[in-house]
Amino acid sequence: MKTIRIILCGCGGVGKEFLQLIADRKKEIEQKYNLSLIVPAAVDYKGAAIADSGEGLPLSHLVDFIKQGNEIQTFPEYGKENITGIQVIDQITADVMVEATPTNLKDGGPGKAHIFAAIEKSMEIVSANKGPFVLFYKEIFKKAEDHNCGLHISAATAAALPTLDVGLTCLAGSRVSSAEGILNGTTNYILTQMRDKKTAYADALKEAQELGIAETDPSYDVEGKDTANKTILIANRIFNKTFGLNDITVQGITDVTPEDIEAATQDGKVIKLIGTIEKNGEDIQLNVAPKPLDKTHPLALVSGSEKAITYMTDTMGSITVMGGKSSPVGAAAALLKDLINAFK
């Protein structure tokens, strides 16, 4: 049995669900993968819960405590006030750092510091946080390479949808010439409602917010920024590049009208917000924009808040995977999947 010690940074929606999954499936993971997952420390923005014993934190009790609205640093016996993620990473011996703090696309936020500190200690990195990798991919990749650390970021590239698993593992040995993805559930839900129910954009957006699919401030999704970030990360991993925000053109769905939807329908097409990666010789172009797809295109069939990606290869033809839960549970499951695959 291989024991894996985990430091979790970020105990919001995704972090809580990650702890819940480990608590619920500990024995199953031991039996199936011969891995014993131990969490000696979980950190949030006001402090941490830290276990001195080798058994780690009592996760079931900790999750119940957090889900009741309590802050992690007040967890009886284990809570520590005003200790930072950097301090925890420096003080606690662990094999992997799971980064689940909120995405920050201005300077990377605390997630950036957590990742660099964990690499310094030769930990594996499992992250749902896109910010540090979109902004500082080249620096992170180089440092991880120097310290022989794995970077596992499928939770940051469409959560439960296995975009990178397919591209890196299932297509190993093939040459990918292009990839097209519906990578944001909010925009796909809005466009689906506009087409299927003739709903106006503003009404479809409001409905998505009421259902919890869209955020109160939906600009990150509807302006195409979320799709752009995921497209950049997928391109970097699949093609071993270091693209950033200046390397992609982005157009969201805010200007898509019912007339546009109807015209596409009359033409036998379906409008979807597509993140595109296209390789022409040594040149790779990245783009996000609403595109009219033929009804026969596999991505035209993706409805509601579901996501999908299509890879075009030289030897395996066109490969499409679709679905995946758009929720904190889905993202947490992707973190757990990456962690297991890193060590199994």
Please list the active-site residues.
230
**Identity at 165, one-letter amino acid code:** D
Instruction: Quote the CA–CA distance of 304 and 171 in Å, as a whole number.
Output: 27
Instruction: Quote the CA–CA distance of 317 and 255 in Å, as a whole number.
Output: 34
The answer to whether the beta carbons of residues 187 and 178 sit under 8 Å apart is no
The answer to whether the beta carbons of residues 142 and 31 sit under 8 Å apart is no
Q: What are phi and psi of 170, to 5 degrees?
A: -70, -25
Burial 100-124 (b: 16+ CB within 10 A, else e): bbebbbeebbbbbbbbbbbbebebb
Instruction: Quote the CA–CA distance of 271 and 290 in Å, as a whole number.
Output: 6
DSSP H/E element including 33: helix 13-33
| Structure tokens, 209 | 């917010």
Largest CA distance in the chain: 66
DSSP H/E element including 49: strand 47-50
């955020």: which residue's tokens? 215
Instruction: Quote the CA–CA distance of 306 and 185 in Å, as a whole number.
Output: 5
